[in-house]
Amino acid sequence: MKWNEESKDDKKNSMTIDVLLDLVDRDIPGSRYKEIASLFLDSMENWPTCDQVEISSFIKELKGYFGTPLSIESISAKKFNGRNAWQLEAGSLLIEMIKLSDKYHNESDFDKITNGIFEHYKITFTDT
């Protein structure tokens, strides 16, 4: 599995959508991280941009659409305009993800949640 280093200004690691899909599939059933990451992956699947490879690109689009910081409030503020059904569906999945993370890990900050997902899978499946 390859993790891709982002710019020096952004010390976070990112991964491809396919790698995260594979890691989540291999995680144990009932894992809280798997449940949260699955909602994140489902939101990517509903997002209307085709052929995305990098998760960081998806997150950039989310923040461009819903605003920063990405939160339940910023997602909920977007209303149906006749053309944004896919974005709102993805947003509803992200709201579920944030609520679940808050319940399980007492964390509702989107960036911290996604970093937690990446770190969990990086540590759990290193060198596999």
Residue written as token pair 């809280």: 32
Q: Is residue 15 part of a domain?
A: no
Task: Indicate the SS3 state at residue 82.
Answer: coil
Summarised one tens digit per residue, pLDDT across range 85-99 is 999 999 999 999 999
Residue 69 is part of which domain span?
31-124
* 58 occurs within a structural domain: yes
- The region of weakest confidence among 5-14, 33-42, 67-76, 111-120 is 5-14
Per-residue pLDDT tens over the stretch 33-56 = 999 999 999 999 999 988 889 999
Dihedral of the alpha carbons of 51, 85, 94, 45, in degrees to the nearest 10: -30
Chain segment 104-118, per-residue pLDDT in tens: 999 999 999 999 999
Report the SS3 class of residue 59: helix
User: 93: exposed, middle or buried (C-beta count within 10 Å: 0-12, 13-18, 19+)?
Assistant: buried
Residue 19 domain-assigned (yes or no): no
Total structural domains within the chain:
1
